[in-house]
């Protein structure tokens, strides 16, 4: 309902309530009806559900079929049941499931640990009395009271306010606090403009107010967003889709090859049906990359752990790979690009403009610009005009300084901090206050005993500034000089003047209209038309830089009993302060690095256009053509798809606008990462290919919707995550290339070997079910030792040095692209030619089992060599991955153990003699030579 468009009296009537509040009995009845006032989580998967989910893919289904075939062949006539193959496949499946389950379970626990929003208390009026209750017990119709620092417990229509201001940035994206009133607003006003409403999970930063709860729990603005997220299923990532499609293609190809071999054997050879079936089972085992699911999962898990060490928590493993394909980052401004903390950036005092900045320490200095006489201000004081300006900003202020930091309205906190960092303390007493209002556009505080300015200079003392009266110089006020708050009291103020002084702040034009003098060059002078024009021009210049500008003035010797208007007339103008939520210092470099890597960064914020353009320009965005939310809304889908390719700054955007912008980019085949921290960012975070939420400043709703949570809230971590994602993609492509080329070689060896053997050695191959170039258990062992540890170790490969110098890959580019397929086919043919040469040489000189064992060992050696051929394409040396070296060494040792220990009987192999090893060496040299020649001759077609 449009509560914001209705008068308080009507709201009370519709909710059957009054200003005396509900009775406890009625509150309990409404609680039973409406339920607890809380945001419900989407249903979380159980531990069993997480485990079962690991097996829902085509490769797993294919492995189950292979295991069943391995068992079935043992029950054929004349065969002995063998359980080794099925057992090994089952072990591989279980290991893969455990890898994925452990990672997903740990991630869920980490996300729950990040849920930092505790249930606050609420002050409600029940039976005519104020009571403190758990915020979960607030019901529609409750009258609740909020004061500075309180978390708003529910959506409420305000019925009374006293300087109430709220920070609603988490909901609306607005960085500035919102002044609240009780006056109704138009029915079509967006949440950001509903000044007569307060919203659940936002904060009161100044004043106090009373409201009637009009919505609780999932019916609130925050709840509506949470409900939208819960109703949206998480789509599979492109990588998940590709792995699933790869499994389907492998299954189809395997069945096709088996059918082809069976037909050829039955029609053109004298092979028995049992021999044909054995070849079919052998081909099935050879074709299935048993280790692929486990290797994919482990590689993604290793990437996830590396990202965690860089403070990026990945919620879903496949997202690690998706990070590497990101080519557009759509980022919120407030709290992501900026500090989410208003700061005084510029100050105008005594006809001079100063650039203010603050760092980790609360210090301030005036850094001298080049001047004709070479003079500079001393480091232990600042100009008196600037001191007076900053000091009045701190006095005319309700912000508080606590051991934990500052508390209050963000604008007033910024003014107080600027004065504290400059060391201009206030030692007097506050004796009267005229509060700010939107009608008056000013606030006045009267003090007594406010003494002299910083450095011991009063208004009438002449500052040794070395400047002429008309000189206006920009100066940097930074964190270098230890004054005031660091124990050096050179900037403190003595209480030598007991006359009451009025300090006034407000809209610059309003303050200036009440002044007849100005503090300039250390003394009070008349406010001439020229000086007034100069001040107004400076105000316009600061405002054009998207600063929020406030004017400051004071009046000494005032009558404490004078009427408000009289007290605020005849003021001395002190100057201007321009405020802004400043960019985070590391963001500009991170944005530049992303651009260098071909990643476009787009800002989408709820702030106004001028502020967004100014921040964007400071961070390196192109503010030209910046668009506001209403412009986005007016465009058709096709028009927006064109504009998003040009615009880098979007302002005044709502959650629905962000979702449209994301959709337009995705429709243009971009892989989009969305960053944000507010409730208003959650729908876009969930829609994005990679949603990135802030862990510290982010809301619980945003963290729940995101794929990645930055524990340090650092935009630079996104850059590191993208680099890690690209490295993971390289590793995935390396081992997929390796596994597929190895399996292709094995399939071709079995396929061609069966045909050639039946043609050249019919007496050996035609009638015997055992007469195959390799048995199923041999192939399973090859796949286990080569697709196992070495392939897993590939997942630990370091990133290539040029990983962030390449452009992002196209969204349509697959892991298995045409170059990888060419490489797989090329290597498969090489393995077949050299491998069958080794086999048939052995068969001509010795028995079938010797030939099988020679080929069996040759393939293990060649597949290990293949790993380094692939890695060399990424300029990785053989010594750069100690885990891979260990895996290769262990694999060779296991192969030798198979050959030269009694376990060889289980595999049907024999111990090889020197002659066989020499022929293996010949085949090895031939394979490497042909592979290198092929790389040179087919380099543009083959990617290893």
Query: Mind telling me the catalytic residues?
Result: 332
In this structure, the strands spanning 600-604 and 328-331 are: parallel
Q: Taking CA 624 as the corner, what is the angle to CA 622 and CA 629, rounded to the nearest 5 degrees?
A: 100
155, containing H or E segment: strand 155-167
Could you tell me where the DSSP H helices lie in 488-623? 508-513, 529-544, 564-567, 587-596, 609-619
Query: Under a CB-based contact definition with an 8 Å cutoff, are residues 150 and 203 in contact?
Result: yes
Burial tier of 75 (Cβ tally within 10 Å: 0-12, 13-18, 19+): exposed
- What are the Cα distances from residue 175, in Å, to 579, 580, 614, 892? 11, 9, 14, 62
- Concatenate the DSSP letters of all residues of 195-256 into one string: TTEE-TT-EEEEEEEEEEEEE-GGGSHHHHHHHHHHTSPPPPPHHHHHHHHHHHHHHHHHHH
Those residues whose C-beta lies under 8 Å from the C-beta of residue 862, and which sit 6 or more positions away, are: 745, 831, 834, 835, 923, 924, 927
C-alpha triplet 51, 314, 644: angle, nearest 5° = 125
CB atoms within 10 A of CB 929: 12
Could you give the 3-state DSSP secondary structure of residue 284? helix
Measure CA 598 to chain center.
Answer: 18
Between CA 877 and CA 118 the distance in angstroms is 51
In a 13 Å sphere around the CA of 105, the CA atoms on its Cβ side amount to 15
In angstroms, rounded to a whole number, what is the distance separating the alpha carbons of residues 446 and 567? 9
C-alpha span between 792 and 769 (Å, rounded): 34
Upper half-sphere CA count for residue 393 (Cβ side, 13 Å): 34
Element (H, E) at 459: none
| Strand boundaries in 653-788, DSSP class E | 672-676, 690-694, 708-710
Lookup: tokens for 57: 């893919």
- Residue 866 CA to residue 927 CA, distance in Å, equals 10
583 phi and psi, to 5 degrees? Answer: -65, 150
DSSP letter for each residue of 858-905: HHHHHHHHHHHHHHGGGT--TTS-HHHHHHHHHHHHHHHHHHHSTTHH
How far apart (Å, rounded) are the C-alpha atoms in residues 816 and 196? 57
Distance between CA atoms of 55 and 354, rounded to whole angstroms? 64
Q: What torsion, rounded to 10 degrees, do the Cα atoms 930, 933, 938, 942 define?
A: 60
Phi then psi dihedrals of residue 181, to 5 deg: -135, 180
Residue (of 531, 448, 529, 456) closest to 493 by Cα position: 456
In this structure, the strands spanning 515-520 and 571-580 are parallel
DSSP, collapsed to helix, strand or coil, labels residue 445 as strand
Contact criterion met (CB below 8 Å) for 112 and 315: no
Determine the Cα–Cα distance for residues 160 and 209; give it in Å rounded to an integer.
5
Q: What is the CA radius of gyration of the chain?
A: 37
β-pair type (571-580, 600-604): unpaired
């Amino acid at each position: 309902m449009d509560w914001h468009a209705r008068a308080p009296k009507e709201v009370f009537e519709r909710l059957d309530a009054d200003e005396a509040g509900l009775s406890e009995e009625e509150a309990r009845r409404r609680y039973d009806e409406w339920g607890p006032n809380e945001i419900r989580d989407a249903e979380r998967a159980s531990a069993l559900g997480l485990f079962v989910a690991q097996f829902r893919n085509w490769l797993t289904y294919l492995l189950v079929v292979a295991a069943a075939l391995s068992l079935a062949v043992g029950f054929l006539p004349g065969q002995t049941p063998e359980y080794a193959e099925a057992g090994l496949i089952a072990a591989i499946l279980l290991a893969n499931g455990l890898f994925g389950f452990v990672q997903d379970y740990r991630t869920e626990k980490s996300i729950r640990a990040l849920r930092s929003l505790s249930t606050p208390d609420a002050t409600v009026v029940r039976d005519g009395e104020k009571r403190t209750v758990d915020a979960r017990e607030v019901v529609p119709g409750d009258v609740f009271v909020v004061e500075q620092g309180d978390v708003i417990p529910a959506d409420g229509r305000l019925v009374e306010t006293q300087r109430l201001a709220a920070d609603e940035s988490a909901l609306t994206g607005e960085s500035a606090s919102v002044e609240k009133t009780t006056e109704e607003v138009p029915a079509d006003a967006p949440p950001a403009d509903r000044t007569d409403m307060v919203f659940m999970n936002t904060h009161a930063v100044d004043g106090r107010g009373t409201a009637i709860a009009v919505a609780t729990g999932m019916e609130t603005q925050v709840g509506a967003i949470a409900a939208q997220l819960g109703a949206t299923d998480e789509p599979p990532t492109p990588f998940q889709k590709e792995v699933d499609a790869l499994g389907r293609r492998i299954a189809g190809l395997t069945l096709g090859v088996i059918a082809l071999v069976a037909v050829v054997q039955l029609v053109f050879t004298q092979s028995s049906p049992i021999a044909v079936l054995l070849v079919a089972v052998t081909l099935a085992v050879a074709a299935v990359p048993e280790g692929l699911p486990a290797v994919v999962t482990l590689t993604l898990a290793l990437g996830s752990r590396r990202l965690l060490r860089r403070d990026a928590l990945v919620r879903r493993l496949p997202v690690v790979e998706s990070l590497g394909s990101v080519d557009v980052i759509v980022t919120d401004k407030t709290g992501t690009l900026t500090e989410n903390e208003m700061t005084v950036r510029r100050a105008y005092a005594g006809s001079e403009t100063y650039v203010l900045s603050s760092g980790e320490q609360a210090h301030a200095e005036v850094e001298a610009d080049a001047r004709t006489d070479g003079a500079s201000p001393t480091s232990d004081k600042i100009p008196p005009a600037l001191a007076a300006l900053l000091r009045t900003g701190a006095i005319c202020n309700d912000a508080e300084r606590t051991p934990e930091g500052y508390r209050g309205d963000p604008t007033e906190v910024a003014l107080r901090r600027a004065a504290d960092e400059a060391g201009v303390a206030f030692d007097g007493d506050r004796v009267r206050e005229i509060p700010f209002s939107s009608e008056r556009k000013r606030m006045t505080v009267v003090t007594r005993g406010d003494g002299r300015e910083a450095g011991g200079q009063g208004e009438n003392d002449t500052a040794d500034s070395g400047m002429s009266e008309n000189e206006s110089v920009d100066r940097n006020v930074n964190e270098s000089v230890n004054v005031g708050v660091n124990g050096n009291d050179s900037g403190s103020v003595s209480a030598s003047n007991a006359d009451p002084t009025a300090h006034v702040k407000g809209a610059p034009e309003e303050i200036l209209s009440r002044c007849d003098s100005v503090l300039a060059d250390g003394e009070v002078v008349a406010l001439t038309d020229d000086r007034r024009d100069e001040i107004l021009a400076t105000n316009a210049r600061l405002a054009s830089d998207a600063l929020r500008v406030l004017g400051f003035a004071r009046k000494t010797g005032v009558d404490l009993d004078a009427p408000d208007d009289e007290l605020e007339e005849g003021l001395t103008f002190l100057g201007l302060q321009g405020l802004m939520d400043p960019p985070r210092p590391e963001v500009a470099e991170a944005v530049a690095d992303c651009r260098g890597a071909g990643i476009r960064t787009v800002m989408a914020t709820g702030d106004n256009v001028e502020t967004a353009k100014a921040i964007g320009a400071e961070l390196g965005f192109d503010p030209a053509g910046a668009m506001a939310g209403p412009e986005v809304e007016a465009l058709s889908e096709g028009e927006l798809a064109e504009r998003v390719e040009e615009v880098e700054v979007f302002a005044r955007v709502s959650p629905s606008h962000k979702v449209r912008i994301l959709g337009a980019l995705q429709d243009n085949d971009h892989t989009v990462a969305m960053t944000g921290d507010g409730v208003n960012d959650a729908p876009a975070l969930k829609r994005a290919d990679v949603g990135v939420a802030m862990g510290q400043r982010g809301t619980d709703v945003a963290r729940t919707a995101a794929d990645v949570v930055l524990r340090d809230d650092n935009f630079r971590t996104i850059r590191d995550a993208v680099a890690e994602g690209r490295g993971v993609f390289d590793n995935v492509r390396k081992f997929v290339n390796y596994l597929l080329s190895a399996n292709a070689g094995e399939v071709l060896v079995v396929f061609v070997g069966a045909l050639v053997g039946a043609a050249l050695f019919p007496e050996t191959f035609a009638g015997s079910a055992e007469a195959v170039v390799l048995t199923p258990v041999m192939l399973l062992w090859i796949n286990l030792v080569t697709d196992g540890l070495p392939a897993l170790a590939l997942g630990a490969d370091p990133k290539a040095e040029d990983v962030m110098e390449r452009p992002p890959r196209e969204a349509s580019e697959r892991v298995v692209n045409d170059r990888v397929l060419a490489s797989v086919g090329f290597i498969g043919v090489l393995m077949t030619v050299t491998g069958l040469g080794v086999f048939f040489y052995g068969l001509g000189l010795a028995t079938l089992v010797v030939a099988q064992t020679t080929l069996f060992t040759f393939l293990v050696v060649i597949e290990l060599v293949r790993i380094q051929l692939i890695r060399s394409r990424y300029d990785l040396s053989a010594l750069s991955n100690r885990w891979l070296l260990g895996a290769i060494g262990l694999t060779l040792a296991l192969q030798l153990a198979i050959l030269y220990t009694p376990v060889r009987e289980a595999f049907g192999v024999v111990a090889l003699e020197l002659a066989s090893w020499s022929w293996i060496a010949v085949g090895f040299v031939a394979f490497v030579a042909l592979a290198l020649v092929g790389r040179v001759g087919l380099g543009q077609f083959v990617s290893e």
